[in-house]
Structures are given as structure tokens and as C-alpha cells.
Amino acid sequence: MKKINSKNLCPFIQSKLNNQDNDIIPIIISYKDSKKMTDGKISSLSTKLNRELPIVNGYACEMSTEAIREIIRDPNIEYISYDTKVFAVMDIARKTVGADRIPRSGYTGKGVTVAIIDTGVSPHLDLIYPHNRIIGFKDLINNETVAYDDNGHGTHCAGILGASGYCSKGKYKGIAPEVNILPIKVLDDNGNGKSSDILSAVQWIIDTKEVHKTRIINFSLGAIAEFRERKDPLVKAANKAIENGLIVVAAVGNSGPKRNTILSPATSRYVISVGALDTNKTPDISDDMIAKFSSRGPTIDRIKKPDLIAPGVNIMSLSHKTLDNYTALSGTSMAAPIVSGAAALLLNSNPNYDHFDIKRILINSCTKIKAPSYDQGAGILDLSKLFS
């Protein structure tokens, strides 16, 4: 059988085809133009059509290698990628980034909605009392309609972002304690999911942004960056969200200290990508260091990442197991919602800020530590410089 060498196939699928494996593969097909999408042809060739993905002008489906050989001949196809696996990657943290000084500014994130694409969010008292700030819910795993979290990762991130501190008497208050939370469940009880579900989640956020007044998307998850930026489905979705007026923050991943380990969609040159800082359990940054696990840049496209860093080691936040308990977790997943919270505060100060305004202001507020730029980007987020 003739070898396949196509720029429109990701390396994994190309390898499968050239090895003559007769497998069924979960794939994402993107078309050059939405008008050229041919649902009938996809349906006839796929063993399972999972969902339409207008955000990348395409579909998620399962297809045999033989069928992929046939459909790749279509000149309207831009790219076929493997539907990659996606995975989930407060007192001292607040002081480290200067959040303890924010009350003087009066900004709390009130009126700003942050979409958290994660494992879901449980109704912890710090989020629902004195009034419920979980203002909606979308479940792409089990299709439930009432917010829940069977893993805990999303609830923890929501607390870092916006816990009121009610159950801890303010000790574990989030960065933006009056922000609205919009959880979208795309990861299962083990913290695993599919890229195609992330794409659907981003499309849903864009479609409903006026309903929920959504301004920010927090990605405390990612996939191994296997594609160049312009072909990566997750990057394309994140960039489309930015084009549609949303501010996008993403964790860089926990694959450090090796270089070239930034996860997608944090690999996007536009996304605000966040690495993790180890505070050494003190608010003084003089003894701070990059968390060993924090992914390092550059990206496949030689883009310098992360953009900045925030505390991500032993961060105390909400537990999904009870209405009033807290737990400690570590990861760049914990650092990202600190930055999302900071973005919400900035929107309080000026609702007309767009993604690029927020990114520039955050980067300019950072303080460098002794570490390479591919480890820390612009440095540690310092909110005291924004709200002094």
C-alpha cells in the first residue's frame, strides 16, 4: 500500500496509516471553510459521529484507517488530528501576589463571570452563601443539569478564583471573592477527558456569553502539544474565544523541569499562560523558586512561555467532599485561577478591557525572581502594583 505523506495529517495518524494498522481512531476533522463541511460524507465513513465542532469548522468522530485514507483526498480538509487526551493538571498565596491589599481598592470581581472548564464544581458554602454565585452549569460527560464535581479539581480551582472565605473566616478567601462561577464539566471522575469535548465547551461558552455575562475562561487543564500552533485544535478554539471578546487563561502543565513541555492550549501565543511558583510557605518572595513540576518553554513554535507565574504549591482551597471543608493541592492548575481572579478584578476597574489589555497589564505588574525566562516568563504576578 502506498505510503501517506500529508501535511494535513497529524504525525500519530500518519504513522498509523503507514504502518497499515487497521484500527478505529478517534479524530477531529477540520475544514478550510465551514461551507465545505460535508456531514453526509463524514457520517458514511465514520463508525461513530460524536459531535459537530463549528469552532474548528469540523467534526469529532471515530474512523477506520481505511476511511481516513479515503477522506484525506478531500481538498477542502484543512487538518485531521488525533482526538487527544486532556487531563487536569490560600492564605500565603494571596499575600505572595499582593491580594491582601486589594480590599482597599474595593474590587472583588462582582458582576464578572468566569467559565471554569474542568471536572465541574460542587456547591461549597464559600460559593453559594450568602447567595449562589454558581450561575449555570454545562455537563459534557454525564449530561447532568445540576452542578457537581466527582473529582474535586474544578471545585478547588473555583475556590482559588472566587471563594468568599465564609467557612474559614476569611483565611482561604479567593482572589476575586464575589466573582460568578460558570462550571463546564469536560473531565471525568479521574480528571481525564477528550479534546473534542473541550472544543464543544468553548463553543458553548461563546454561544452563551451574553446570557451568563461571561468574560473569562480558565483552563486548568491541557493536552500534550503535538501540533504546531496553527494546526492545534485546542489553540484554535482558545484563539477563537479571544476573537469573540473573551479573556483566556491557561495552566502550562506539570511536566517540568524539562524544557519544551508547555501543554496546549497554553502554547498559543495569545493565551495568558501561567506557570507555578513554590513560595516555600512564606509570603516573602526572596526565598521563592519555580516549582519543579512547572512546565518550561519554549513551545514547538519557539514561543517564549510561560507568560507569568503564580503560587501553585500546597494551595489551600475548597474540597468537593463537604459543604464547608478545605484541602491542599499543588500544580499549575492552582496557579491559573489566581491569574483569572486578577483578570476579574481588572475588569471591575475597567469593564472595557479586552484580552490583550489584561495580558499586557498583568505582565507589566510582575516581579522577576532568579530563574530563566523560559521558567518564569515576566515573573511573579504582583497585584499590589495594580491596586496600590
Predicted confidence (pLDDT) at residue 333 exceeds the cutoff of 80: yes
- Catalytic residue, chosen from 333, 340, 355, 365, is 333
DSSP alpha helices (H): ranges in 257-326? none
Contact 174, 212 (CB under 8 A): no
Predicted confidence (pLDDT) at residue 209 exceeds the cutoff of 60: yes
Place domain 11-83 in its CATH homologous superfamily: Peptidase S8 propeptide/proteinase inhibitor I9 (3.30.70.80)
* Alpha carbon distance 365, 277 (integer Å): 16
In the chain, what is the straight-line distance between the N-terminal and C-terminal CA atoms, in Å? 68
Contact 336, 220 (CB under 8 A): yes
- Catalytic residue, chosen from 46, 81, 118, 220, is 118
Predicted confidence (pLDDT) at residue 206 exceeds the cutoff of 50: yes
What are the extents of the domains in the chain?
A: 11-83, 86-385
Which of the four pLDDT bands, split at 50, 70 and 90, describes residue 100? low
Q: Which amino acid is at 378?
A: A
Predicted confidence (pLDDT) at residue 92 exceeds the cutoff of 70: no
Which of the four pLDDT bands, split at 50, 70 and 90, describes residue 104? low
Contact 245, 239 (CB under 8 A): no
**Is residue 118 among the annotated active site residues?**
yes
Which of the four pLDDT bands, split at 50, 70 and 90, describes residue 90? very low
* Alpha carbon distance 294, 309 (integer Å): 9
Same fold, 11-83 and 86-385: no
Predicted confidence (pLDDT) at residue 58 exceeds the cutoff of 90: yes
Which of the four pLDDT bands, split at 50, 70 and 90, describes residue 386? confident
pLDDT tens for each residue of 11-43:
889 888 888 778 899 999 999 887 666 667 888
The residue among 71, 198, 54, 189 whose CA lies nearest residue 138 is 198
Write the CB contacts of 92 (distance below 8 Å, at least 6 apart in sequence): 279, 281, 282, 283, 311
**Is residue 153 among the annotated active site residues?**
yes
Write the CB contacts of 89 (distance below 8 Å, at least 6 apart in sequence): 220, 221, 222, 251, 253, 254, 263, 331, 332, 333
**pLDDT, mean of residues 91-96:** 59
Predicted confidence (pLDDT) at residue 2 exceeds the cutoff of 60: no
Q: What mean pLDDT value characterizes the chain?
A: 92
* Beta-sheet strand order (sheet of 24-31): 46-53, 58-64, 24-31, 77-82
- Catalytic residue, chosen from 81, 83, 122, 153, is 153
**pLDDT, mean of residues 146-152:** 96
Predicted confidence (pLDDT) at residue 196 exceeds the cutoff of 90: yes
Predicted confidence (pLDDT) at residue 80 exceeds the cutoff of 60: yes
pLDDT tens for each residue of 244-302:
999 999 999 999 999 999 999 999 999 999 999 998 877 777 788 999 999 999 999 99
Of 160-164, 277-281, 304-308, 322-326, least confident by mean pLDDT is 277-281
CATH of region 86-385: 3.40.50.200
Which of the four pLDDT bands, split at 50, 70 and 90, describes residue 225? very high
**Is residue 105 among the annotated active site residues?**
no
DSSP alpha helices (H): ranges in 55-118? 65-71, 91-96
- Answering whether pTM is above 0.85, one says yes
The residue among 271, 282, 221, 220 whose CA lies nearest residue 87 is 221
